[in-house]
A and B are shown apart, each in its own frame.
Chain A
Amino acid sequence: MATIDEPLYPIAILIDELKNEDIQLRLNSIRRLSTIARALGEERTRKELIPFLSENNDDDDEVLLAMAEELGVFIPYVGGVEHAHVLLPPLETLCTVEETCVRDKAVESLCRIGAQMKESDLVDWFVPLVKRLAAGEWFTARVSSCGLFHVAYPSSPDQLKAELRSIYAQMCQDDTPMVRRAAASNLGKFAATIEQHHLKTDIMSMFEDLTQDDQDSVRLLAVEGCAALGKLLEPQDCIASILPVIVNFSQDKSWRVRYMVANQLYELCEAVGPEATRADLMPAYVRLLRDNEAEVRIAAAGKVTKFCRILSPQLAIQHILPCVKELSTDSSQHVRSALASVIMGMAPILGKDATIEQLLPIFLSLLKDEFPDVRLNIISKLDQVNQVIGIDLLSQSLLPAIVELAEDRHWRVRLAIIEYIPLLASQLGVGFFDDKLGALCMQWLEDKVFSIREAAATNLKRLAEEFGPEWAMQHIVPEVLEKINNPHYLYRMTVLRAISLLAPVMGADITCQKLLPVVIASSKDRVPNIKFNVAKVLQSLISVLDQSVVDKTIRPCLVELSEDPDVDVRYFAGQALQACDQVMMSS
């Protein structure tokens, strides 16, 4: 047995713990594998540590996952890129384990290592590894192999390339759906490394196999690959081979497949160009917008603006707008909600006239939707319409919608609308705001739910920022301060909160003249919670106010509070006094 020098003791333990029975210690050791490697030196890392790891691959999944990750960045510790291949064997075994996340991580690490390896090394070491995995007895190995072809392929000589292509084709027809799924989801990546002429023949025939798979789960992934594949092909090839498939898929029996198409269609439009989009994809898209399954309509509705952007305004008005009209009264609230979140974006595309004539009625009906999310989604994107038609046309219907949301019985809805108030205020302008919304903002300060009162206070601050201190002095401050007489202490606390938020915006003068007296008066409140909140507010006001005011008004008040019978009041008063002292010291 070796005797270990004192300074090496920690590393020695770290190494021993690679085999400790406590999984946390093993994990810890694996996470510090690079330290162990540096302590052993490059040569012994190659000759001892890596083989050791390869042999001890039946550990718990958590440990294997960590090992797979560490090995991905291990090239420097084995002596650089020329020795990178020694890392392949342990990762190869990890590619075959049962746990999906370990395999995925091992594949990721292999790709990372492969990307750095020299071409000749790739051919000597990496390609055989891919072939071995692809011929694996269990599906786990074959699944992993699919994610490695795109690394192995580019540096291979022609003959090997042909072999790799044919192996991949086998993967696309494997018995296990898991392998076919892996082949389908990696097809795009693999295709990107393949020469154009093989792309059109080999890859397209694999793609065709996958699109005709009888497992839904495989076809789904094939759809996902459509757009990626389409972008690799020349537009005319894409139109010839991908377009029919996608048009077919848009009428697939399975709603999941159609859902995928709805999500991918827009990407494909870019690949096939405007002409084919108009001729073939638009009818498909219109079908999806009218699909039987709500999930499909949701996906399609969510893309309506993006899709219109590639079409001409005229086509959009002619073909898409009628569907949009139908969707705005869809039976599923989720469809309407998805539509509401994007429909505002159509205004700039359609132009002012069409928007007023066609879109405005839809906006208005969505603004009156019974489902609050729909209304909120419209309101949140208001600025987009404002740019096209101005707010005047909308304001009439806007107000009832806002008032209704402001009084919704679900506090989350009220919270959401409060958060849009500053946006609305900036869009609607001071005049409109004063008339209609000012009262609401005050009303929220007395909401039953704390989060709403809190948001209401923050809202006042943002309004003061938007419209300036003078406006705030006129419209907000008096009403807020009046509420300090509320008999319920929780509402008085909200006022204090609002004051501390408003003070920095209002500036020293107004704070000193108007806000501070109210705070000081509250220090005599009978409720301790108010008193210690006074202490907190005073602390926050120190930075806003002049030193003289601090000394003359704030400090005496705090001193008094620091002798309060209540322990919490004394504590926060003490904190605030300390802050006073610090400011004085620094000045």
Chain B
Amino acid sequence: MGNGAEDAGPPVGSSPPPPLEWKFSQVFGERAAGEEVQEVDIISAIEFDKSGDHLATGDRGGRVVLFERTDVRNLGSRKDLEAQDYPISRHPEFRYKTEFQSHEPEFDYLKSLEIEEKINKIKWCQAANHVLFLLSTNDKTIKYWKVQEKKVKKISEMNVDASQAVQNDNIASSSTISPRGYLPNGGCPERPHGQLNNDLSMPPGGFPSLRLPVVVTSQETSLIARCRRTYAHAHDYHINSISNNSDGETFISADDLRINLWNLEISNQSFNIVDVKPANMEDLTEVITSAEFHPTHCNMLAYSSSKGSIRLIDLRQSALCDNHSKMFEEHEAPGSRSFFTEIIASISDVKFAKDGRHILSRDYMTLKLWDINMESGPVATFQVHEYLRPKLCDLYENDSIFDKFDCCLSGDGLHVATGSYSNLFRVFGCIPGSNEATTLEASKNPMRRQVQTPSRPAKSLGSFARVVRRGAESPGVEANGNSYDFTTKLLHLAWHPTESSIACAAMNSLYMYSA
């Protein structure tokens, strides 16, 4: 996979690289013992930008928090940075950058529906001039944000504030001038522009007494987030994913039954490209659960369904892409069906690997890695929490079985990760031959609950085309005395695009780990 020498997996048969040694790196918003978590603070989305220099989280309270990387300082231009060729000795470190309220709770009066402010997804867009752009969405409305650093400016000299000149220093402490600049009550005595009549004859040399405001720029900066566009009223159902296109001008938004295509510049129209709504809603058997654009081919996108299939569509084929060009599906072994089979088959997240050749999907019990050239089944399946299989009935009773876990791939495509219960998450190596399967806990001591990876290696590693099952937990976990806590689930996590570093959310806290 991949194009560079580094990306390519080692030749089959060679010994796999040593497993990653994970270490705790940082935590933001750590909970004190016994502290109660506010519902609105629970993190509901995590996303790194393309360069890995920024990280964004969204929460149930509709806020978006941005973090920036501190260990690589891009003081110079981007090109300088590339030229410098940093020795990558340190793990990425982040610091809080800014936050803003992206969505507010709303009420749809026509449908008598409450619209939560919870951020479902965040996606970074192409940055320009050191200005950051991102898309955030709740169930119904997508917003395009521009986050910009502005130099703090002071206005020191004006035409009409001679009498109050003394005040200037304390007036203009913000980036803007206070209206007190010329009138104590904050307004102008009259708006005389209308009377700015033409009978005032302008001398050819101008009026020497007029002056322009003098602006003093300080080194201080302030970050300002502005909503530049709002893409609303295009979804009848809840938006589950957004994804931007490699062409840099379009993005998609997907809800349960439809996928719409937008131009970033145009917020009042979108094109419906996939519509799986049956004529009669009683015939509904399958919904869209997640959708993503191909990382480099602007015409391709993948979407997953509640039945466990992934469809690849080609936007070039037709305007309405109801016919997929490829469908990835694993046919279940006959006889293994149970009441839960269909429920746990539902895919909660799909991600393309950076190389665009592989797709990672997460269903309730497993992570599956698919090769775009093989539709009949995944090239690898990783059991996430097989020990829960006997408990499916309980999980169904308390609705946990419907939890939607994210999945992610490392930048080199050699590792995959996803979350589980009890604040655990798992990292798997996906080179054939690797049986790396690590369990980490989102806490300052991630290896606390580490259980031994089974020594049973996957059979016949010879080809990608064979399904490899590994990482099955030994059933002894519960014997450790740890009972599983279904309320502390680790749903959201993201892998740094270039480094071995994972950010994951445990309730309201953001934990970062590096290897």
On A, residues with C-beta under 8 Å from B are 1-5, 7-16, 18-22, 28, 32, 35, 38-45, 48-49, 52, 55-56, 58, 60-61, 96-100, 137-140, 176-178, 181, 214-217, 252-257, 292-295
Contacts and interface: CB of A to CB of B under 8 A. Distances in A.
B249 A178 contact: yes
For A21, A49, A257, which residue has the most chain B Cβ atoms within 10 angstroms? Answer: A21
Interface string B158-190: 111110010000000000111101100000100
A38 B299 CA distance: 54
Contacts of A293: 317-319
A388 to B, nearest CB: 36
B192 A138 contact: no
B79 A137 contact: yes
A178 B128 CA distance: 12
A7 B316 CA distance: 65
B305 to A, nearest CB: 25
A275 B162 CA distance: 79
Given A39-B206, A176-B248, A2 B162 contact: yes
A1 B162 contact: yes
Given A3-B162, A8-B200, 7 more contacts: A2-B159, A11-B200, A38-B202, A61-B228, A181-B249, A216-B247, A257-B316
A14 B177 contact: no
Contact of B77 (A22, A38, A137): A137
Nearest to A13: B160
A8 B319 contact: no
B316 A1 contact: no
B213 A138 contact: no
Interface residues of B, number: 59
Q: Secondary structure at chain B's binding surface: helix, strand, loop or mixed? A: loop
Q: For the complex, would chain A's binding face be called helix, strand, loop or mixed by DSSP majority?
A: helix
B159 A13 contact: yes
Contacts of B297: 214
B215 A55 contact: yes
A96 B165 CA distance: 36
B220 to A, nearest CB: 14
A177 B247 contact: yes
A215 B315 CA distance: 12
A61 B224 CA distance: 13
B318 A255 contact: yes
B215 A255 contact: no
B3 interface: no
A16 B182 contact: yes
B196 interface: yes
30 contacts: A1-B161, A1-B162, A2-B159, A2-B210, A4-B162, A4-B209, A10-B196, A12-B160, A12-B210, A15-B211, A16-B159, A16-B182, A19-B176, A19-B215, A32-B196, A35-B196, A43-B205, A52-B215, A58-B151, A60-B226, A98-B128, A137-B78, A176-B248, A177-B247, A177-B248, A216-B247, A216-B316, A254-B316, A255-B317, A255-B318
A21 B176 contact: yes
Given A12-B210, A38-B206, A97-B129, A215 B247 contact: yes
Contact of B205 (A1, A41, A100, A216): A41
Contacts of B128: 98, 138-140
Contacts of B226: 60
Given A20-B177, A139-B128, A5 B246 contact: no
Contacts of A12: 159-160, 210
Contact of A21 (B77, B165, B178, B205): B178
B476 interface: no
B193 interface: yes
